[in-house]
Structure 1
Amino acid sequence: MAGKKITVSRESATGLNTHFLVPGQGEVPRGRLADQIERGQHPDYHVQKLPDGRRIPRSNPDGSDSNNLG
């Protein structure tokens, strides 16, 4: 992974990742991180769009389980 690692900092009671620790930014809510990913600010990540409209930040697959979000 080329960039610094983004990690999950908070989850909802159902296990939905709601906040992330982004190097250089601190804690960022899911929607703001999704916006940044869609603007190309985090090339090692993509956004999964769910049928209900939620956008879920995801790490790009690279064959390693050690750098997945969540």
Structure 2
Amino acid sequence: MNDAHPSPRPPRLLQQIRERIKTLHYSYRTEQAYVYWIRFIIRFSGTRHPREMGKTEVERFLTFQP
């Protein structure tokens, strides 16, 4: 069977974060800060999805000294 309307893709990570923050009634500045740090750790980890990261990657990020 050929569907004329394929199923929509699930929201991307940052969109999910933004929606959750709004649901919790956090301020816009808090949303900006969360998104900033999430992007930062993703870039730091070589653009890996946070779902793929574990304790080692988080420790490496938190103990990094430039």
Instruction: Work out whether the TM-score is over 0.5.
Output: no
Larger fraction in helix: 2
Larger fraction in strand: 1
Higher relative contact order (CA 8 A, sep 6+): 1
- Larger radius of gyration, structure 1 or 2? 2
| TM-score, scaled to structure 2 | 0.28
